[in-house]
Structure 1
Amino acid sequence: MSADMQALIAQVGDQLEALTLAADGLTRVTGHATGLDGAVTAQVAGDGTLTALTLAESITAHPPDQAAAAILATITAATTAAARQRAELLAHLSDTLT
């Protein structure tokens, strides 16, 4: 087998490993955020699905519109964190494949 063919096979193997690692990493992506002085905590999966929302008793001390805004802002922050992780994984994959 020629050196060129061996190099090509090694490169394809490296790319397959990078794809496998990226796919595994994407399944583990989660975004977390806390807001309103710790009264709201959100967790979002890598696909943007809200997987957990925790509201502390202290949230009842806030007017409903402020509480709602804090909940939405916290979910948005968690979604942004998950998107950032996804982007980093995909950028690394792209660097590996090119």
Structure 2
Amino acid sequence: MSDAMDALEARVHRQLNLMHDLADRLAGIRVRETSPDGTVTAEVDGNGALCDLVLSPAVSKMSPSAFDAVVVATAGRAAHLAIARRGELVDAFNTELAESMPGNDSGH
């Protein structure tokens, strides 16, 4: 019985470590994207939330609608990439978690 408990405890610790690693990796996601014309750079986190916005002096020559469009498009591309990265990390976590489950004979 002690061997079974030791195995269970080891598996739980491994799964807990996987969860902590995932949380750290998700918290560390940052994606920067610059508009094709170089006027706007947006940085977003793993939730797609805007963390930083850098504007070049050239934005002062843009119309309000052009400015709006370039900011939204640039931040949108950055958010899309960040969410994709988040999905990759969650998929990798799910695979590792499944491999750590009892009865999985994948050899890991």
In the superposition, the TM-score normalised over structure 1's length comes to: 0.84
TM-align CA RMSD: 1.7
Contiguous gaps of at least 5 residues in structure 2? 99-108
Does structure 2 conserve the Cα–Cα contact (< 8 Å) formed by 1:42 and 1:54? Answer: yes
CA distance, structure 1, for counterparts of residue 85 and residue 30 of structure 2:
8
Q: Give the paired residue count.
A: 97
Shift of 1:38: 1.1
Instruction: Give the equivalent residue in structure 2 for 1:84.
Output: 84
Once the two structures are superposed, what CA deviation does each residue of 1:1-57 show, in whole Å capped at 9, x if it has no partner? 23x444333322221111010011111112211104211000112222211111101
SS at match of 1:31: strand
CA distance, structure 2, for counterparts of residue 94 and residue 62 of structure 1:
46
Instruction: Give the equivalent residue in structure 1 for 2:61.
Output: 61
SS at match of 1:91: helix
The structure with the greater share of residues assigned to helix is: 1
Question: Which residue type is aligned with residue 40 of structure 2?
Answer: V
* Identity between Structure 1 and Structure 2 (%): 33
Contiguous gaps of at least 5 residues in structure 1? none
SS at match of 2:27: helix
CA distance, structure 2, for counterparts of residue 63 and residue 24 of structure 1:
41
- Greater displacement, 62-71 / 38-47: 62-71
CA distance, structure 2, for counterparts of residue 10 and residue 25 of structure 1:
22
- Give the 4+ runs in structure 1 shifted more than 6 A: none
SS at match of 1:37: coil
